[in-house]
Amino acid sequence: MKDIYFRNVVLGLIIMGILLLIIKLFHGGIGDPDTWWHLAAGRYIVENGIIPKQDIFSWTLAGQPWITHEWLPEVFFYLAYLAGRFWGVLALVLIVTVALLVFYWRLLTLAQGSFVITALTLLIVGELMYPFLQIRPQVLSYLFFVVFLYVLYLYVLEKRNYLFVLPVVSILWVNSHGSFPLGPAVIFLFIACGLLRRDGARIATYRLEAAQFRALGLVFVLCIAATVVNPNGLKLLVYPLDTVGDSLMMDNIQEWLSPDFHKLYAKLFLAYFLATFLVLVFTSRRIHLTDLVLFLVFSTGAFIYGRFIAYALLVSGLLWPRYFHPALDFRLDLARLKLVSVPLVLALYVLVFALKAPPQTPIDYRFANEERYPVNALEHLEINPLNGRMFNQYGWGGYLIWNRPDEKVFIDGRADVYMEQVFGDYLRISQLKPEAAALLEDYRIDYVLMPADSALVQALKLSPRWGIHYEDETAAILVKRE
């Protein structure tokens, strides 16, 4: 086995290991609360042949405007489900992940650094990213982000022009996820950094000719124009600004909060960030301004909003093969390593897959963790249905939409849809604010489906106006008495 073939084997093993981590995520069923309503949206579009522009899932905002900015992957998810049930959907996510990792590997190798450092970077970034690689449209946004970086770095480093790809990617991106402004933003950063031609003792700039600036400027304009190619037209251009500018969302939606550094994952991210920072401090090479600005911008975003951690991981990883060149001898006894390590790693992968791979199953209310979702409560409702207006837990809304399509919810994970009033009222009710009782009356709630240990359930249990319809360790259903 030649050295190049062994390196490809190592690359393949790294990618396989990251895919196994993603597969392992679903061992206990679907955990992400937004996966359910994304599948339900895809089901509606496929079955009805239209992209909804009004809310179709809730009774609180039925018929009100809904910007369906993630319709394209939602359709793909549901078509994959029709073709292969759960494993059809998971296979689609794994294929996108492979494409992401392959493009990222190509991007890393542009630095022409050590193979060991480059391979370790791919491994570490992939390991840290896997919690973000869920059955959600955002998985496509990471792929598109890496494609943008790859094409732009090819252009400034090797003068290879594939810029024409970026407007096409922008059309796909704007129909897949609300992070589409990151594409033009990255182009803008490359242009702005390229205009600064003063090199210093520690900072260098990529030398761009006037024709290259014109090409980047044209592509920047075309990428912005391409974002209009979506079912919502110009409305979608201001959607990201409306989202980021909503303080209620920023303060209450988990993925918009700053990382919680009391948790292990946030500590690992912090360690990764600090290690990358030290690489820049102690590198003997001059740091390219574009690399530094990308690192600072996306790291800052990650520390403010947890959902930007994945982008920060991808950007930070680029710095390791470029600027980390330790004076260590990484030469290995490849013959012995090939003979022992590859079979052992493959055997470990097979064992993990056999023990942790989720079953091939329909995606229904049972394919979820009973400690996180009201699995038994829904089974009870199948036998003992209730009519009327339901007040439900925010994170269970998508689960209810997918599994009880004929019953409208009070709220679900589409926070942007509910922000104007309903989300605030939900918080006031669920947190037992002074106006909670009046709001329950104003909304004419007939029954409540909430976590059994929630403050609202405990309060309603004490009220003579409410009775227990069902209760287990996870969920409780309380019905308003006549």
Q: Distance between CA 474 and CA 365 in Å, rounded? A: 14
Residues 342-349: what's their mean pLDDT? 78
Q: Above 70 in pLDDT, residue 449?
A: yes
User: What are 466-476's pLDDT values in tens digits?
Assistant: 999 999 999 99
Q: Three-class SS string for 331-387?
A: CCCHHHHHHHHHHHHHHHHHHHHHHHCCCCCCCCCCCECCCCCCHHHHHHHHHCCCC
Q: For the sheet containing 475-480, what is the strand order?
A: 390-392, 447-451, 475-480, 466-471
* Tokens linked to 187: 């182009």
Give the model's confidence band at 418: pLDDT under 50 very low, under 70 low, under 90 confident, else very high: very high
Higher pLDDT, 353 or 168: 168
pLDDT at 339: 59
Q: What is the mean pLDDT of the chain?
A: 91
Give the model's confidence band at 201: pLDDT under 50 very low, under 70 low, under 90 confident, else very high: confident
Residue 146 phi, psi dihedral angles, 5° rounding: -65, -40
Higher pLDDT, 111 or 3: 111
Q: Above 70 in pLDDT, residue 336?
A: no
Higher pLDDT, 371 or 219: 219
Q: Each residue of 284-311: b (16+ CB within 10 Å) or e?
A: eeebbbbbbbbbebbbebbbebbbbbbb
Highest mean pLDDT among 204-213, 313-322, 337-346: 313-322
User: What are 232-248's pLDDT values in tens digits?
Assistant: 988 888 888 777 767 78
| % of the chain residues with pLDDT over 70 | 96
pLDDT at 170: 97
Give the model's confidence band at 174: pLDDT under 50 very low, under 70 low, under 90 confident, else very high: very high
Q: Above 90 in pLDDT, residue 416?
A: no
Give the model's confidence band at 208: pLDDT under 50 very low, under 70 low, under 90 confident, else very high: confident
pLDDT at 359: 85
Q: Kindly report the number of other CB atoms within 10 A of residue 353's CB atom.
A: 14
Domain chopping of the chain, boundaries: 3-31+67-323, 375-480
Residues 53-73: what's their mean pLDDT? 95
Detail the DSSP E strand segments found in 113-233: 203-204
Q: Above 60 in pLDDT, residue 384?
A: yes
Q: Distance between CA 148 and CA 178 in Å, rounded? A: 16
Taking the model in full, what pTM does it have?
0.94
Q: Above 80 in pLDDT, residue 327?
A: no
Give the model's confidence band at 334: pLDDT under 50 very low, under 70 low, under 90 confident, else very high: low
Q: What is the DSSP string of 225-286?
A: HHTT-STTTTHHHHHHHHHHT-HHHHHH-GGGSPP-TTSHHHHHHHHHHHHHHHHHHH-SSP
At position 472, the amino acid (one-letter code) is D
Higher pLDDT, 113 or 269: 269
Residue the block writes with tokens 């809310």: 55
* Among the ranges given (141-150, 247-256, 262-271), the one the predictor scored with the smallest mean pLDDT: 247-256
Q: Above 90 in pLDDT, residue 36?
A: yes
* Tokens linked to 259: 């990382």
Residues 75-93: what's their mean pLDDT? 96
Residues 316-335: what's their mean pLDDT? 76
